[in-house]
Structures are given as structure tokens and as C-alpha cells.
Amino acid sequence: MTRLLVTGGAGFIGSAIVETALARGWRVRVLDSLRPDVHGAGYLPDPRVEFVHADVRDRNALAVALFGVDVVSHQAAKVGLGVDFSDAPDYVGSNDHGTAVLLAGMAEAGVRRLVVASSMVVYGEGNYRDAAGRAARPEPRRVEDLDAGRFDPVDEQGELLEPVLIREDAPLDPRNVYAVSKLTQEYLANAWVRATGGTAIALRYHNVYGPGMPQNTPYAGVASLFRSAITRGEAPRVFEDGRQRRDFVHSRDVASANLAAIEATGAGSVGTFRAFNVGSGEVHTIGELAEQLSRHTGGLAPVVTGEYRLGDVRHITASSERLRTELGWRPSISFEDGMREFAASPLRRAVRG
């Protein structure tokens, strides 16, 4: 029987992984700090789970949590774009220092299997091609273009670039503090593999949504922000022109991808590090997301504001072919079905700053 430790296992994605692992008959332990800016008021641990209430940077608690486990699913992290650069120390401390402490603890405990939550943000902008069909990676968008409502990346001649699916071998170009912290987690995991002979898989999540997302926080994903607005009786506010392309993947599909990755770490690929995109394979716009949620909830129609966040990218959509081919994973929830369920599902309690 697999003995699994899920760091951040009380969180949005972590709890979905826990539920899926329990359904497989695995023994599950959760390590979570229950940060109030993530969990809001109150948390009731599942009686089937051994719960360790501690920060992943607490070496003593971590040693207890790692005792007797076969594999770690590392989900504990500060997520989202952030409010401003003053968030940088918290991102680096929570994500990078936390991962370093975890990996050191795993080395000491002799735990040699790891799945780490990464993100699409490590790529920066998505993949594009120019009018001649050549691959192109645009520079970060300029403030003067965004102020003028020119949101789409262009080539050196000013011609629009065509967005295409991004693969794991694309250049990595993190463009905000959160993105840098996620890529650093990958680099730390790879260094741990080289030093210990362990096996690690990084799952680069695309836009995850589903029941139990946190509400009323600037660090939540866009689906949660739209749902929170509708719940307050407000119209969802869509930035830019709403045509930003994304891949929205359901949390249960992300959980099943984690279990496929966990099983792969025990399948004999010792001393390796491998990254995989986790996406639905469907391309939709942020405007479509807002429209779906408004329609399924009976809420106010979305408002396209033209506002922007400088750290955001324009288009990024996943090719999950590597995950499908190498690990046999398939998403099971369509955009339409997932939005219908999400619109009717409760969010996590409001968080405190």
C-alpha cells in the first residue's frame, strides 16, 4: 500500500489529491500550516488522514511527517501573481526555502520519490509563430502598448503573432516573482535528484479551477475571482479585452495527474527529473470563462474593463501530450461540464489578510 505525504494537503489542489489517493486505498498523511490567508476560518481534518499541523519549513515537524512515507506530493506554496513586489520575501520563503527544507528532510529520511507542483508561469508568454510559420517568443509587453489597448504580442515588424500550444521543451522565461519561485522549486528538485539518486516529477499546472477554490483573495485564480464577484451580486470584471487564451483544467483532473505521476516515480525511473504540462487540451478565453459562470449562476453579465496587470501574459495554452503519452493520463471533465459544476459548488470560506 502506498504511503503518501501531501504537503499543503488541506489546500484547494492538495485536498483533491488527498481525496483521490484515499479512493485508491492509499495511506495519506497531510502536512499543512493552515495559513489564514489561504484557508479562512476553520479546518476539519478528514478522519481517514493523519494530520500534521505545521509549516513545511519546520524541520522537527517535517521529520515526523516524513517518517514511514514512500512518496511526497509537494503542494505547499504561496500562489498567484501577488499584490506588489513587497510579496517577494513571502513567495521566496514559502516556496523556495520551504522546498529546500523539505528536500533536505527527504534526503535525511531516505524518501526518494517526489512530485512537485509547478506552474505554466515558468514559461512566461506562451508559444507563438509568425506569418511565415516560424517559432517566435515575444518580449514582455510594453506599458505604452497596454495603455493603448494593444494587448497581443507582435513581431519585429509589428505583425501579430499567432498563439500555439506550448510544450515542455519551450524556453523558460519567468516574468514575475511567483513564476521565479516556481521555477526555482523545479531547479531545487532537480538538484536533489542529482545529489540523492531520487526521482522527481514537476507538474506544470495550467489554470486550475473546481469546487473548494478560495474566495475573496487577490491571490486566487481568475475563476475564483469571477465566482466571488457573482456571489457578492457583482458583475465579473474581465481585464484587457477578454480574449486572453488559457487552458482551464479541473482540480479532479489535476489530482488524477498527480496520482499518475506518483505511480511513475515508483516505476523504476531512478535518478531522473521530468516536467509535464497538466492541461485539459481545450483552448478557451478568459471572457468565455466569465460568460459561462455568469450564465450558469444566473449572475450579472461580465464587464470587459480594458484594465491589465503588468505581470500577466497574453496567451498560454498547454500541450499535455507528454503526460498523455508517457504516463497514460487523460482529462475526464470538459470545460462545459466543469463550469456547470463549478458554478453550483461552494467556494472555500473567505480568507483573512
- Which strand ranges, in their side-by-side order, compose the sheet holding 135-136? 135-136, 127-129, 162-164
Enumerate the H helices of 197-281 as residue ranges: 222-231, 251-265
**H/E segment holding residue 196:** helix 177-196
| Helices and strands per DSSP (H, E), number in the chain | 12, 16
- Helix (H/G/I), strand (E/B), else coil: 114: strand
Backbone angles phi, psi at 177, to 5 degrees: -65, -45
Quick one: pLDDT at residue 259? 98
- What residue type is 53 in one-letter code? H
Delimit the domains of the chain by residue range: 3-125+165-213+248-281+319-332
CATH for the 3-125+165-213+248-281+319-332 domain, from 3.40.47.10, 3.40.50.720, 3.40.50.300, 3.30.530.80: 3.40.50.720
Whole-angstrom Cα distance, residue 35 to residue 57?
A: 13
- Helix (H/G/I), strand (E/B), else coil: 329: coil
Whole-angstrom Cα distance, residue 336 to residue 353?
A: 33
- pLDDT tens for the chain, 353 residues long, are 899 999 999 999 999 999 999 999 999 999 999 987 766 555 677 899 999 999 999 999 999 999 999 999 999 998 876 667 888 999 999 999 999 999 999 999 999 999 999 999 999 989 999 999 999 988 888 999 999 999 999 988 889 999 999 999 999 999 889 999 999 999 999 999 999 999 999 999 999 999 988 876 655 688 989 998 998 999 999 999 999 999 999 999 999 999 999 999 998 777 899 999 999 999 999 999 999 999 999 999 999 999 998 878 899 999 999 999 999 999 999 999 999 999 998 877 655 54
Residue count of the chain: 353
Quick one: pLDDT at residue 353? 45
Q: 348 is written with which cell numbers?
A: 472555500
What global pTM score does this model have?
A: 0.94
Q: 123 is written with which cell numbers?
A: 514559461
Task: Give the residue from 79, 61, 63, 115 showing the smallest Cα distance to 217.
Answer: 79
One of 91, 123, 128, 178 is an active-site residue; which one? Answer: 178
Residues 220, 263, 265, 323, CA torsion sign: negative
Whole-angstrom Cα distance, residue 276 to residue 318?
A: 10
119 contacts 176 by C-beta, under 8 angstroms: no
Whole-angstrom Cα distance, residue 221 to residue 235?
A: 17
- Helix (H/G/I), strand (E/B), else coil: 247: coil
**Among this protein's residues, is 178 annotated catalytic?**
yes
Structure-derived torsion over alpha carbons of residues 74, 40, 175, 283, reported in degrees to the nearest 10: 80
